[in-house]
Structure 1
Amino acid sequence: MTELCILFADIADSTSLFEKHGDEAARSAIAAVLDALLKEAEKHQGELVKTIGDEIMCVFPKANHALLAAIEMQNSVSGNFVLGNHPIAIRVGFHFGDVIEEDGDVFGDAVNVAARMTGYAKKGQVITNSITFKACILPPFLNHRSLGKTKIKGKLLPVEIVEILWQQDTSQVTRVTSAIDIKIPTSKSQLQIELNGRKQIMTDQSPTKTIGRGDDCDIQVAMLMASRFHGDIQFGGGNFKYTDESTNGTWIQQDGSEPIRIHRESMVLHGAGQIAFGELDFSNRDELLHFKIIK
């Protein structure tokens, strides 16, 4: 085992680049951005592990190296890369912990947690967790904020998510109320979810259920357009809510109404319905997540 900081950086909404500008232009733009990200990583002792489509995975000797690289990555991309009239933005997540190094790749819990941090990040964000953040020294001109606690697969206790506010002017940053400050009303409702014939029941006491193609997700989906970490379902504010954290978005059909697409936002689930991941395709029942509120 070796202690390293794993960092993932990917291009937000890259699918729309291909849709609006074609394969050749999109690939060229993505390659230019990834090259810029790698240069910033190398300045802070980062090493490229692999490139995965529109994403790079790097390792750093210490958490602080990854923090500084993440800040410089955002600064290097923000406002500097535009395809047509489409500004290109990135999402960055990192985590420090034990990994196994093998054949030029790294494996282990720290890799999975780092990938989850990136999944929580929205465009223009740098996300880590309180465990990794405590190992960092934040430059004096920067701030951070807690985004509350969430359950991560493989961790017994909820993990506090931390956003690094790399922009010096934070006046436009939306205020977030920490999850530990929210008084959640009691509820007797249950949520029945079913995917490919497998049923689960969630209650107000259930931990967050993560959904995606990744092996570390609680609910794994096979749809080709689904993200590694696509979204999650959790109980909050007296309701069960689905939150999309994906590249391509989520389609939710409730009580027989027309499907609604959400992208990097939440929707309260009510009645019964179906969820499609990444594309508007409700033709294959086995690829859909079916849900039902049970009072």
Structure 2
Amino acid sequence: MPYAMTAPHPGGADVLTKVEIELPDLGAGEVLIRHTAVGLNFLDAYYRSGAYAWPVEKDLVVGSEAAGVIEKLGPGVTGWAVGDRVAYTVPTGAYASHRSISQDALVKVPNGVSDEDAASSLLKGLTAYYLLHESFKVKRGDRILFHAAAGGVGSIAGQWLSHLGATAIGTAGGAAKCDAARRSGFQYVIDYRSEDFVERVKLTTDGLGVDAVFDSVGADTYPGSLKCLKPFGTLICFGQSSGPIKNFAVSDLASGSFTVTRPVLFHYTRNRAWLEKAAAALFGMILSEKIERFAGETFPLDRVGEAHRKLERRETTGSVVLIP
């Protein structure tokens, strides 16, 4: 029987409940997908907990990326066929065995990329793409600080930064995660549990600072991230795994004529041309082995609450995949 993992109200990981569902009727331009692999992301925890506003009144199906097979086409669908292997990333709705979705959200999964690889890399890989190519256009020789370097986005970003020729400095918590960050291409790794990352960045850059800081941690790393920037540097805030930044003031930027930005992936993916370009770049990097296949620990989808608890305790490395 088709099922979904729903949250009846905001709360902890224990609110996620398995519920049987009926296969939906398809509207114009929609397809029915049978999921084969679902990605796990901090974004999912933000919605589940209520940190991000719920898009429904109740019974929210969380989940922001998945891969699977098209089982049925709705009216007006063109360019897709039953049996196509596809992947997508949208804010919510992926924690289910089946779902209907607009054809405009889909990308084809190429031969040579597994469903697990696609589901564990699409949201994170597209995020890394826009961060390094749009939010701050990284070029050879740039010095970059990337927080949570052993996480899903960090694992891809480190490899992409290495390919772009940047000097990549990462932060991670504990020896195992620091080792994972080094394997992902970060030349310098700072253990934030035992070291002051601001002081280490100053030493690593001979006091010059970095060109850009990519920060998905939030409360725990601000304002230290600003202190790591060189004059005219850029702070890119794209998450808040430790909680939202509450003490930001525009005047903070005056100490170095800094730029700060808060980009959101789904503003980019609304542009179909951008989505196709970025997905092609990501899958090309995977197929050429410039980015390793890093689908890591797996959980049955109906044990997603356990996976959420590990994610929020920062006990995961790389990307977790949920199997319906």
Higher relative contact order (CA 8 A, sep 6+): 2
Q: Give the number of the structure whose residues are more often helix, by fraction.
A: 2
TM-score over 0.5 for the alignment? no
Name the TM-score, length of structure 1 as normaliser.
Answer: 0.26
